[in-house]
Amino acid sequence: MVSVKARPYDYALEPGKTALVVIDMQRDFIERGGFGDALGNDVSRLEAIIPATAKLMGLFRERGWPIIHTREAHKPDLSDCPPSKIRRGSASLRIGEEGPMGRLLVTGEPGNQIVPELAALEGETVIDKPGKGMFWATGLHERLRGLGITHLVFAGVTTEVCVQTSMREANDRGYECLLIDEATESYFSEFKASTIEMIVAQGGIVGWVASLDDLATALEGAEAAA
């Protein structure tokens, strides 16, 4: 067990049973011309976490620990996208419509790819999820159970939507969840801050939050002591 300084109290990370989940670091949300931009958001806020997320992925890759990448993605015929979801959002450009990076939030389109800096390496799992949560219609729980994973470290966007939804879903399924502060972001700074407070409230009702440095220090310290 590796003890990581975290809120609301230290997180007990279990090497060998821990996977990193990187939520929706896809061009649709991070780059101009994508879904997030069509909604009128300042996408540069999300782009800014790419270096920290890459460093976090490096910590897992160096140790050969599993990394799961998700993309919010719908089938080309949109049969897995409820009309209610399509109706909401930008009136000018909706899910499935053609934008500068192809059809918005549709699997296989250029905008649906993970940003090149964070692209999955061979052997890493990429999950296309039609919902905000990573367990809905993905088979991910069975896959994680097959790998013996009990602990999940979270990164990605947006903190209050797909990251928080996935973390809550994971919490309900019994995973011990840790969110890394510098590796998650929202288009709205106050939404990120509030989400972090919600996660750690009431003794960690959804899980823990730690800084990237505190995670790195804990891992390196544990290895030096071994």
Q: Which of 53, 158, 184, 195 binds ligand C5J (CB under 6 A)?
A: 158
31 forms part of the interface with ligand C5J (CB under 6 A): no
Nearer to ligand C5J (CB atom), residue 162 or residue 209: 162
3-state SS string over 112-149? HCECHHHCCCCCCEEEEECCCCCCCCCCHHHHHHHHCC
Q: Which of 4, 24, 93, 177 binds ligand C5J (CB under 6 A)?
A: 24
183 forms part of the interface with ligand C5J (CB under 6 A): no
Residue 162 contacts residue 131 (beta carbons within 8 Å):
no
CA–CA distance, 180 with 76 (Å, rounded to integer): 33
Q: Which of 153, 161, 178, 199 binds ligand C5J (CB under 6 A)?
A: 161
Contacts with ligand C5J, 107-136, as mask; x by CB under 6 A: -------------------------x----
Residue 128 among the catalytic residues: no
37 forms part of the interface with ligand C5J (CB under 6 A): no
182 forms part of the interface with ligand C5J (CB under 6 A): no
Using CA atoms, how far residue 53 sits from 14, 96, 219, 224, in Å, is 20, 28, 16, 24
Look at the block and give the residue holding tokens 């602990």. Answer: 151
Cβ neighbour number for residue 117 with a 10 Å cutoff: 13
Q: Which residues bind ligand C5J (CB under 6 A)?
A: 24, 29, 72, 132, 157-158, 161-162
Residues annotated as catalytic are: 24, 129, 162
